Amino acid sequence: MSQTDPSPEEFAADTIRRVRRRVRMTWHRRVGLVFGLVFVLVAATGVALNHSVGLDLQHRPIEADWLYRWYGMQPSGEPVGYALDGGRLAVGMAGTFYQDDRAITNLDDLRGAVSLDSVNVAAGSRELLLFTPAGEVVERLDSAALPPGEVRALALVASPARLVVEMSSGRYVFDADLVGWTQLPANTEVTPVASVAVPVDLRDRLVQAYRGDGLTVYRIILDVHSGRFFGPPGVTVVDLSALAMVFLTLTGVWYVIRRRQTG
């Protein structure tokens, strides 16, 4: 053993220091690798936000349908329409019921609409909606007021004009006041009212109304920057990336200092 050789204790201590340093640097690299993409996103969006006024981001609307779907601002499926008296149109879209372009109330899955003497009737899958031609709701008939089962379609029988509701349990004809009902024989011929096409300009107006003020580029960039674009988990990831940035800074500084000390 030469005089420059370390003692066994020094050798052991040096080995422990090397292992610790390697572990720290391994984690430094791993954390940097895992959160690198988040750092890039936060940095790039942060720069864009700092210049949002100059870039006029707050007044740049976004038209991408997938972004509106992501934000829950794009109606799912196409609107369904049924013709009413007076040239009006009953339209169901994304859980909202419209008479022409006027929102009346919420109604799931429009399955038919008809005009009676003084009142219109629209059918969702689980309820009927009675409303005046002026769009005022008269009554909602839920499961407590309907025959058993799910609503499938509406129809009319003549002489006298009565509403027929086709349920999953059979066909039922309502009385004139739309209060009570009786089941029709199975062989009764009734023709369910058929849907009609919703004009494109009306559809576009309804979609625009559904979206409200819409989305801007500024809103998207801000939400990506904060992580809200990805919901609550996104905010958590951005929070973790902030902590990771602190960790990387401390371990990086420590690494530089130790290298200078050890030559």
Partner 1 sequence: MSLLRSVALLVIGLLASGLRADDDVYQAPEAFLVETFVESSAVPEPQLLWMTQDMRPTVKEILGHAYPALRIRYWREGERTAWILEEIGKVKPITTGLVVNAGKLERVKVLVYRESHGWEVKHPFFTDQFRGAALDENKRLTQDIDGISGATLSVNALTKLGRLALYFDGQVIPVVAAPLAP
Q: Which residues bind partner 1 (CB under 8 A)?
A: 30, 33-34, 105, 132, 136-145, 177, 179-180, 230-233, 236-237
Q: Is 226 exposed, middle or buried (0-12, 13-18, 19+ CB in 10 A)?
A: middle
Q: Where are the beta strands (DSSP E) in 70-136?
A: 80-83, 89-93, 96-99, 102-106, 112-115, 120-123, 128-131
The distance of closest approach from Cβ of residue 179 to partner 1 in the complex, given in angstroms and rounded to an integer, is 6
Tell me if 73 sits within 8 A of 209, measured CB to CB.
no
Which of residues 68 and 131 has its CB atom nearest to partner 1 in the complex?
131
The tokens describing 149, both together, are: 């089962």
Token pair 């009306």 in the structure block, residue? 202
CA 36, 42, 48: angle at the middle one, nearest 5?
135
Nearer to partner 1 by Cβ, of 198 and 238: the residue is: 238
Task: From residue 263, give the alpha-carbon distance in Å to each of 211, 231, 258.
Answer: 63, 48, 8
CB closer to partner 1, 89 vs 141: 141
Q: Which two tokens stand for residue 80?
A: 């369904």
Q: Which is nearer to partner 1, 132 or 188 (CB)?
A: 132
Amino acid in position 203? R
Task: For partner 1, give the closer residue by CB, 47 or 137.
Answer: 137
Given the complex with partner 1, which of 144 and 158 has the nearer CB atom? 144
CB of 157 to partner 1, least distance (A): 22
**90 or 198: whose CB is closer to partner 1?**
90
CA max distance for the chain: 119
**Beta carbons of 198 and 91 less than 8 angstroms apart:** yes
How does 21-59 read in b/e, with b if 16+ C-beta sit within 10 Å? eeeeeeebeebbeebeebeebbeebeebbeebeeeebee
